[in-house]
Structure 1
């Protein structure tokens, strides 16, 4: 017996991905090592996720920490992503967002502060030297 009859499912739930369905409610801190899709409601934090997708019917009241975050529903809390955040048309984000790349589609609602600091930036003494810097160091 097939679990899904619709062959047009845009989110694949293989490889240990987690789905919070439209009728599901979760309260507390959710640690997701893989991908997470929220179509239901979460009251609490989402941490350590690779990709977090908040679907059109999804509502998250709490902070999200992940690599990539796609929002089509509602988020009331801060979102921190190591790679990028996308707030799609019809979504609402009430809270601060922080990522190296941020995209707000026309029709998305965003209320908060935005920070686009590059993730894991190496200090100046650890950055690779340019050819000119290497030549100057040899001359000294």
Structure 2
């Protein structure tokens, strides 16, 4: 596990970002091909996103599969990121983290297991395929 402090991270939204605002609630599987910022609440899995940012007021109850994940709020679920995961001061993660690089800032709470390896891509692809099968089956009923 690594401990770093990165003060050069910008969490401003840009055009093309998907934002779940403070008062918003989403339930189900959320597929975002670009960047996703969560300031509200998500109950369900997040798949296929490039960058996922869980803001200070954001709460995710479900698994996250993306390229890069920044956590400032709360996540109750497993996180798989192809590039890296950063849990910043004041954040809380209850679940496993798997990525090539994992960074925990002082003051971040982490309760789970972490794995840092180069096989994350295969695992993330397999997880995304399984989630798509589950979604297809539930939509077909």
Residue 71 of structure 1 aligns with which residue? 71
Residue 93 of structure 2 aligns with which residue? 93
> Matches of residues 24-103 of structure 1 in structure 2 within 5 Å?
24-103=24-103
Give how far 1:10 is off: 4.3
> Matches of residues 9-24 of structure 1 in structure 2 within 5 Å?
10-14=11-15, 16-24=16-24
RMSD: 1.4
Q: Identify if the C-alpha distance between structure 1 residues 13 and 113 changes in structure 2 by more than 3 Å, giving closer, same or farther.
A: same
Aligned residue pairs total 112
Say if 2:11 and 2:53, in contact at 8 Å, map to a contact too.
no
What do residues 52-111 of structure 1 show as CA deviations (whole Å, max 9, x unaligned)?
000000000000000000000000000000000000000000000000000000000000
Say if 1:59 and 1:74, in contact at 8 Å, map to a contact too.
yes
Point out which structure has higher relative CO (alpha carbons under 8 A, 6+ apart).
2
TM superposition score normalised by structure 1 = 0.77
TM superposition score normalised by structure 2 = 0.76
Give how far 1:11 is off: 1.8
Structure 1 runs of 4+ aligned residues shifted over 6 Å read none
Secondary structure of 2:107's partner? coil
Structure showing the higher helix proportion among its residues:
2
